[in-house]
Structure 1
Amino acid sequence: MIVEKLDTFGGHRDPVYTLEQGSMAEQFFSAGGDGQVVQWHLDRPDLGELVAKVPASVYALALHPTSGLLWVGQNYEGIHLIDPARKQEVSSLKLTSAAIFDIKFHKDDAFVALSDGVVAVVDTDQLAVRKHLKASDQSARCIAVNPVERELAVGYSDNVVRIFDLMTYELKQIIPAHGNSVFTVAYSPNFQQLLTAGRDAHLKVWAVEKGYTLQQDIVGHMFAINHLAFSPDGRLIATASMDKSLKIWDAETYKLLKVVDRARHAGHGTSVNKVLWTNYHQLLLSASDDRTISVWKLIQGYSL
Structure 2
Amino acid sequence: MAVASEPPAKRSKVEEGPANVILQFESETGDLTGPLLDVPDTVTPQQLEVLLNNLLQQGDPLPYAFFLQDHELAGELSTHLKKQQVSIEAALRVVYRPQALFRVRPVTRCTASMPGHAEAVLAVAFSPSGKQLASGSGDTSLRLWDLGTQTSEHTCQGHKNWVLAVSWSPDGCVVASADMDGVIWLWHSSDGSPIGCCKGHRKWVTSLAWEPAHAALPSRRFCSGSKDTTVRVWDAITRQCLFSMSSHTMAITCVAWGGEGLLYSSARDCSINVWDAQDGKLVRSLPGHGHWVNTLALSTEHALRSGAHDEHGLSLAEPDEAKRVAKERYAAASKGQPEKLVSGSDDNTLYMWQPSTSKKSLARMTGHMQLVNQVQFSPDGRWVASASFDKAIKLWNGADGSFVANFRGHVGAVYQVAWSSDSRLLVSGSKDSTLKVWDIKTRKLKLDLPGHADEIFAVDWSPDGSAVASGGKDKILKLWRH
- TM bin, normalised by shorter chain, reads 0.7 to 0.9
**Hey, what does 2:163 align to over in structure 1?**
58
The more displaced of 248-257 and 34-43 is 34-43
Contact 2:252 2:266 in 1 (8 A): yes
Q: 2:259 aligns with which of 140, 147, 150?
A: 147
Q: CA deviation at 1:141?
A: 1.4
- How far off its partner does 1:105 sit? 1.3
Q: Which runs of 5+ in 1 are unaligned?
A: 264-268
Partner SS, residue 361 of structure 2: strand
- Aligned position for 2:439: 299
Cα deviation per residue 1:50-79 (whole Å; 9 max; x = unaligned)? 643544222211101236111000111411
Whether the 8 Å contact between 1:51 and 1:88 is mirrored in structure 2 is no
Work out the CA distance in 1 between the residues paired with 2:120 and 2:274: 31
Query: Which aligned pairs between 1:241-260 and structure 2 lie closer than 5 A?
Result: 241-254=388-401, 255-260=403-408
Task: Give, in whole Å, the separation in 1 of the partners of 2:371 and 2:251.
Answer: 16
What is aligned with 2:77? none
C-alpha distance in structure 2 between counterparts of 1:114 and 1:159, whole Å: 15
Per the normalisation by structure 1, the TM-score is 0.81
Identity %: 21
Question: Do 2:186 and 2:236's aligned partners in 1 also have CA atoms closer than 8 Å?
Answer: no
In 2: Cα distance, 1:36 partner to 1:285 partner: 26
Shift in CA distance, 243/32, structure 1 to aligned 2, threshold 3 Å: farther
Corresponding position of 2:205: 100
Give deviations 1:70-89, integer Å, cap 9, x for gaps.
10001114111123332332
Counterpart of 2:292 (choices 168, 178, 181) is: 181
Tell me how far apart the structure 1 counterparts of residues 422 and 160 of structure 2 sit (CA, whole Å). 31
Q: 1:193 to 1:228 in 2, by over 3 A?
A: same
Residue number in structure 1 paired with 2:236:
124
Alpha-carbon distance between aligned partners in 2 of 1:91 and 1:237, rounded to the nearest angstrom: 37
Counterpart in 2 of 1:261?
Answer: 409
Inter-partner Cα distance in structure 2 for 1:27 and 1:73: 19
- Determine which structure has the larger helix proportion and give its number: 2
**2:417 is matched by which residue type in structure 1?**
V
Looking at structure 1, the residues matched to 389 and 383 of structure 2 have their Cα atoms a distance apart, in angstroms, of 20
Deviation string 1:165-203 (CA, Å, 9 cap, x unpaired) is 122211121222311111111222234322111211211
**Residue 200 of structure 1, aligned match among 347, 370, 374:** 347
Partner of 2:19: none
Amino acid at match of 1:299: D
Quote the residue 2:184 is aligned against. 79
Q: Given residue 373 of structure 2, which amino acid in structure 1 is its aligned partner?
A: N
Q: Which amino acid aligns with 2:233?
A: V
Change (3 A) 1:105 1:90: same
Q: 1:120 to 1:18 in 2, by over 3 A?
A: same
Task: Tell me if structure 2 keeps the 8 A contact 1:79–1:95.
Answer: no
After superposition, the CA RMSD in angstroms is 3.3
Higher strand share: 1
Alpha-carbon distance, 1:123 to partner: 1.2
- Which amino acid is 1:235 matched to? R
CA shift for structure 1 position 297: 4.3
CA gap 1:210/1:94 in 2 versus in 1, 3 angstroms? closer
Is 2:387 aligned against 1:275?
A: no
Task: Report the Cα distance in structure 2 between the residues aligned to 1:219 and 1:17, rounded to whole angstroms.
Answer: 28
CA contact (8 A) 1:18 1:31 kept: yes
CA distance in 1, matches of 2:434, 2:120: 10
Q: Give ranges in structure 2 of 5+ residues lacking alignment.
A: 1-71, 73-104, 301-333, 445-482
**Counterpart position of 1:266:** none
Deviation string, structure 1 residues 86-122 (Cα, Å, up to 9, x no partner):
2332322223231101111114421110111111111
Question: Which residue identity is paired with 1:96?
Answer: H
- Hey, what's the Cα distance between the residues in 1 that align with 2:437 and 2:375? 17
Q: Which moved more, 1:182-191 or 1:26-35?
A: 26-35
TM-aligned CA deviation for residue 228 of structure 1: 1.5
Q: CA deviation at 1:225?
A: 1.4
Q: CA offset at residue 135 of structure 1?
A: 0.9
- Describe the shift of the 1:41–1:302 C-alpha distance in structure 2 as closer, same or farther (beyond 3 A): farther
Decide which of 108, 114, 118 is 1:6's aligned counterpart.
108
Matching residue of 1:172 = 283
Deviation at 1:30, TM superposition (A): 3.2
Alpha carbons of structure 1 residues 216 and 63: separation in structure 2 relative to 1, 3 Å: same
The corresponding residue for 2:361 is 214
What do residues 26-57 of structure 1 show as CA deviations (whole Å, max 9, x unaligned)?
Answer: 5433334343434457787x646564354422
Contact 2:362 2:400 in 1 (8 A): no
Name 2:304's counterpart in structure 1.
Answer: none
Q: Which residue of 1 aligns with 2:329?
A: none
Q: 1:135 to 1:128 in 2, by over 3 A?
A: same
Q: Distance in 2 between matches of 1:195 and 1:238?
A: 10
Per-residue CA shift, 1:201-251, capped at 9, x if unaligned?
211112335513122112243322122112222222222223344333332
